[in-house]
Every structure is written in structure tokens, then in C-alpha cells.
Structure 1
Amino acid sequence: MFRSAIKATLASALAVGVAATAATAASAETRVTYKSAKAGSSYYQMGVEIAEAIKKGTHGKIIMTIEESQGSVQNVMEVRARGGDYVFTTPPALVGAAQMGTGAFKGKGDPKFADIRGLFPIPSLTMHFVMSKASGAQDFAGMEGKTILLGKGSFGATEGEKYLGLFSLDGKVKIADAELSNAVAALKNGQIDGFVTAGSWPAPNVLEAAASVDVNILSLTPEQIAETKRAPLTIPAGVYAGQDKDILTTSLPVVAYTTTAMDEEAAYQLTKTFWQQKEAMSGSAPWWKGVDKSLMANIAGKLHPGAIRYYKEAGFELAEGQM
């Protein structure tokens, strides 16, 4: 009986020890939800890549779950109901609109919008104006009289149409009635002279076009960039076949955000690991090559204290309004 009691006591102690160990392991693991874009999109894929990089860089201490999103506005709206484990992506302009209650957020303001804080930039939506060399177009004026595919309903289509108006081409080019997915084939068979697309660079459809047809990817002048009121961006020479000069264009910055509900250590580790893993990510997905310190200037508003801690350690220059 005495031996049975000892065995029972030892078994009970062992069970308690195992439970304590499991509880410690569980408490050491941080789980984060990352909400970005629709499944199948390039930005959803970026989220998958970030999640893998975070898991690897933290040795599994931070596990990131990817959630499909219907768009940036929804991502910001969900701040109202989310806690400290929420990371989302959106253009900085939408954060400003949410905090001021304008645009898509008119009449939908919430005090929690004031708690949004930046973590790190991700690849920007970059405007590409791709023209066949056969068209002879080397600048925007050269697009006059040509057939251009803008696509429908996308940021690139809306932005491209805006630029045609800004640069006195409204009504002077023929807009092809086709989907952007048909752009490369239509360019190859001469149905169109060029197409407009927005995406992180290098953009897959532009890579394909440049590899199969001689193309000119148009640069904007500094004056034209100023007219668009968009962030300037330079695509280095050699990114696309046949492009031996830098391409000056515009972009819509995209940033990973969280809120003040996230604790400082988690935000610090997420930011630090992202930058430490960026080079490795660039090796398997070239669009990460477009992310560097220069994009930090595009993060309007305040950064999370945990992110600020990393940036100060790493020697990043931050704007006064970001701290």
C-alpha cells in the first residue's frame, strides 16, 4: 500500500511537471493573424512568405496565420473588433482617412483607428506603362494615337486612366476592351500597342512581355510625377529585359500595421525578424528586392514603440512624426 501511494504521488508529480512544461511552451509561443488580400493575389503570397520567414527567424516562437481579405478598407475596419494579435496591410493614405473619418470611412469613425501603428513597409503597387518598341512610343506624348489596354476595376486601371487625363491624352488614345490577363498575348500579336499595370516589381506580366516582345517601359518626368501626387519610385535598370536605364515611375505604398494593443516585445520581434529575413526572401521572390530603407519615408503616422525600438537599434532614420 505504501509503495502504491509513492507511485501515485510520483505519477501525480510527473503529470503536474508535464503540464507545467506544456504551459510554459505554450506561453512562449506568440500567435499573430496577418490579413492582407484575396487568396491567389501577389499580396496574399507575400503574406505567406512573411509568415514562413517569421516562423523561421524566431525559431517557431511567433506563428503567423494568414487570413484572406476583400481589400484594404476591410483590413482597417477590422481594427475595431481585433486585439493585440492583429497585423494587417493597407496603403498609409487609408489609415489617415480612417483617423480623420473621410473617404471610405466617412460616418464610420472609431476611437480605435487612432491606435493604429506602423511596423514595416512591403512592396509598393508600382505603375508600369509598357509599350511595344514597334509602336515607337518612348514617352507619354508618344502614346497619342495608340491602342492601350488599361484593364477594368483595378488600381492600375483607375490610375492609368487618371494619368491619361493629366498628361493631355484623354480621348487621344484608343482604349482596348479586354481584360488585363490578355495583355501579353494581345501585345505579342499586335492587337494593342501597350498596356498599363500596377503591381509590385518585378511584375510577372511585365517580365513576360519584356521577355517575349521588344518593349519600352515608359518613365515619367519629375514634373509628371509631381502632378500625379503619388510617391515616386525608381525601378533599377536591368530588372526587365531590354531596359538599360532606370525607370522613373509612381507607386502606392503599402505597409504592415498593427495597433497599440500589441505588446512591445511582439512588435519588436516581428519588425526585427522581417528585416533580418528580407534578403533571404528576396532570393526566392524578387519583389522583396524593392523593399529597402527608402520606403520608410512612405509610412505616414506613428510607428509602434516595439518597431521604433528595432529601428533605433538598427540605425534607421525616422521622421519626427513616426515616433
Structure 2
Amino acid sequence: MLHSAVKVVLTSALVLGFATTAANAETRITYKSAKAGSSYYQMGVEVAEAIKKGTDGNIIMTIEESQGSVQNVMEVRARGGDYVFTTPPALVDAAQKGTGAFEGKGNPKFAEIRALFPIPSLAMHFVMSKASGTEDFAGMEGKTILLGKGSFGATEGEKYLQLFGLDGKVKIADAELSNAVDALKNGQIDGFVTAGSWPAPNVVEVAASTEVNILSLTPEQEAETKRTPLTIPAGTYAGQDKDILTTSLPVVAYATAAMDDETAYQLTKTFWEQKAAMSGSAPWWKGVDKGLLANITGKLHPGAVRYYKEVGFELSDGQM
């Protein structure tokens, strides 16, 4: 009886030991991106599913709602090696220099921010009804445009109207961007401005039911904005038979130097290996390719660098 009891105890200990080892093998990551219900929150869900699938469940991501990119960067101060967040590279630059939204809020941990991989950029869309006859920016004069309020797209759209000589020459509709699709369909507005990863859901919706022109910037206009150029391929939206030259705000997934190299390597490797499958179910991932790495102005995580060197992606000296 005593012998049997010892066997039971030993067996239980072994089972407990295996369970502990299995638990230790699982890496848990927090991924913080955007407000629930937004396209970038949905992208986070898709990344988490892809990472879980690609690592056979060895890396589990928990999605955290965020109030915006500035908050994501600020939280670096109190987070550890299990924190992944998304933000435009320009905000990381600002945090590390203590400028803009980070003036007077500098922290040594900002210097430890390291990039992993790009995610879909915010692309500017200037959507005009075909009935308005507007085919370029000059044609917007005298038209009613909905910019929305408080968003990157609204601020950027207002800036472009000024840059291209349209300040005071268009009527700005006093309405939320969420009303843009219905307002354009009903003829209450001639067009709207939105920023989103392409294909942008609201642009897909309106183009499917109403004839629209999505305006393309000239190379000179694009240069004047001092933003990152982006081309939306022909056929992205219903009725769009030509490429659209527009501008974008790059967005990148970051960690910090506190993340171990192997985890950063596995996250980066799995993201790129799963990207094709992600693109099949969510077309906005088609806009992500190795060319977007050039938009990362700061340092990459050494684990990510290891993967990019393995696959032959070109990196700059400043990224390593």
C-alpha cells in the first residue's frame, strides 16, 4: 500500500511538473492599439489570432482597448517586456525628443522603444460624388465637404484644403464623419474626407452604392503635403479604374528593449508568415509589404532584425 501511495505521489509530481513546464512555455503578450470597434482594434484581433495560430498557441496575445497612439507610447513608462503597441513612427520620434505631445513628459524608457513590423497605414481619401462633377482638387471649389471633427483625417483634410488654395472656397458640413456615407448618398454633401487603411470600409460602402470619384493628388501636391506617399491600386474600390496617388500616416507595431530577442523574433517571423492568410480574410493587410519598413525611422528590435536579415529584407543602418 505504501509503495502504491509513493507511486501516486511521484506520478502526481511528474504530471504537475509537465504542466508547469507547459505553462512556462506559453508566452503572454499584451497588444494595445485603438478604441474597440475601430478598424485598428480589429486589426489587433486579427494579429492576435494569426500569432496564436502561427506559434501553435505558444504566444498568446491579449488585446487591450486604447484611447489613442499617444497613450500607447506613454504607457511604455510602466510596462515591461510583454508589451506590444501600435503608433506612428513620428510619435516615437517625438517621445524620444520630448517634443509635441511629449513636451515636458520625457522618460528614459522612451529611448528603449523598438519596432517590430509595419501594419496598414492611414491613407487619406478624398471621396466626391460623381454627380458633383469633381475630378480634381480645383473642382472642389463651391462644393459641400464633410471633414468630421477631431480625427487625424479631419485635421489633415483641413490642412490640404489650405495648401491647395481652397481655404474659404468650400462649404464645410457640420456633421460627424459617421454620417458621411448616408449624407453623400442623399445628396446632402458633395464629398467627404476620411483617413483609414485601404480599402477603407466607409469608402467601400459608398462606392458600392453610389458613383464616386476618389481624388488623386498630383506629384507636386503630394510633395507639398510633406507626408508619406501611398498608392491605392486600381480596382480597390468599385468604379476605380486608375491608381490613386495619396498620402499616408505610417503605423508600426512596437515593443521595447525589455522584450527578449526570441519573443521579438517569433512575433515578427509569425506576422510575416501569416500575412498572406490575413490578407485573404481582411484585404487591408494587402497594403503591407516590405517596402513599408522604410517608414520606420527609429531602431528595430534585435529579434526583428534577426528575422529581416534571414529573409533578406533591406534595412538602414539607423534601424539596427
TM interval, short-chain normalised = over 0.9
In 1, Cα distance between equivalents of 2:131 and 2:316: 45
Alignment of 1:140 onto 2:110: no
Post-superposition, which runs of at least 4 consecutive aligned residues in structure 1 deviate over 6 A?
Answer: none
Q: Could you say what secondary structure the match of 1:88 adopts? A: strand
Post-superposition CA distance 1:183-236 (Å, at most 9, x none): 111111211111000011001111111111111100111111111111000000
Alignment of 1:246 onto 2:260: no
Q: 2:196 aligns with which of 185, 188, 199?
A: 199
TM-score (norm 1): 0.98
Q: 2:85 aligns with which of 74, 84, 88?
A: 88
In 1, Cα distance between equivalents of 2:44 and 2:268: 14
Q: Could you say what secondary structure the match of 1:244 adopts? A: coil
Of 71-80 and 5-14, the range deviating more from structure 2: 5-14
Letter in 2 for 1:54: I
Alignment of 1:321 onto 2:318: yes
In 2, Cα distance between equivalents of 1:206 and 1:234: 16
Post-superposition CA distance 1:279-320 (Å, at most 9, x none): 101111111111111111111100000000000111101111
In 2, Cα distance between equivalents of 1:17 and 1:230: 59
In 2, Cα distance between equivalents of 1:180 and 1:269: 38
Alignment of 1:100 onto 2:87: no
Post-superposition CA distance 1:252-287 (Å, at most 9, x none): 000000000000000000000000001101111111
In 2, Cα distance between equivalents of 1:196 and 1:75: 26
Q: What is the aligned partner in structure 2 of residue 303 from structure 1?
A: 300
In 1, Cα distance between equivalents of 2:309 and 2:131: 50
What are the within-5 Å matches in structure 2 for residues 177-216 of structure 1? 177-216=174-213
In 1, Cα distance between equivalents of 2:122 and 2:300: 21
Q: Could you say what secondary structure the match of 2:250 adopts? A: strand
In 1, Cα distance between equivalents of 2:29 and 2:83: 6
What are the within-5 Å matches in structure 2 for residues 206-285 of structure 1? 206-285=203-282
Post-superposition CA distance 1:141-174 (Å, at most 9, x none): 1111111011111111111001000111000000
Alignment of 1:51 onto 2:66: no
In 1, Cα distance between equivalents of 2:11 and 2:282: 47
What are the within-5 Å matches in structure 2 for residues 108-119 of structure 1? 108-119=105-116
In 2, Cα distance between equivalents of 1:107 and 1:151: 30
* Consecutive unaligned residues in structure 1, runs of 5 or more: none
How far off is 1:7 after superposition? 1.4
Post-superposition CA distance 1:40-93 (Å, at most 9, x none): 111001000000000000000000000111111110011011110000000000
* Consecutive unaligned residues in structure 2, runs of 5 or more: none
Letter in 2 for 1:277: Q
How far off is 1:120 after superposition? 0.3
Q: Could you say what secondary structure the match of 1:266 adopts? A: helix
Q: Could you say what secondary structure the match of 1:313 adopts? A: helix
Letter in 1 for 2:246: T
Q: Could you say what secondary structure the match of 1:318 adopts? A: coil
In 2, Cα distance between equivalents of 1:259 and 1:214: 46
Alignment of 1:292 onto 2:289: yes
Q: Could you say what secondary structure the match of 2:61 adopts? A: strand
Q: What is the aligned partner in structure 2 of residue 61 from structure 1?
A: 58
Q: What is the aligned partner in structure 1 of residue 25 from structure 2?
A: 28
In 2, Cα distance between equivalents of 1:275 and 1:200: 18
Give the fraction of aligned pairs with identical amino acids, expressed as a percent: 83
Q: Could you say what secondary structure the match of 2:300 adopts? A: coil
Q: 1:7 aligns with which of 1, 4, 10?
A: 4
Q: What is the aligned partner in structure 1 of residue 152 from structure 2?
A: 155
> Would you say how many aligned residue pairs link Structure 1 and Structure 2?
320
How far off is 1:179 after superposition? 1.2
**Pairwise CA RMSD:** 0.7
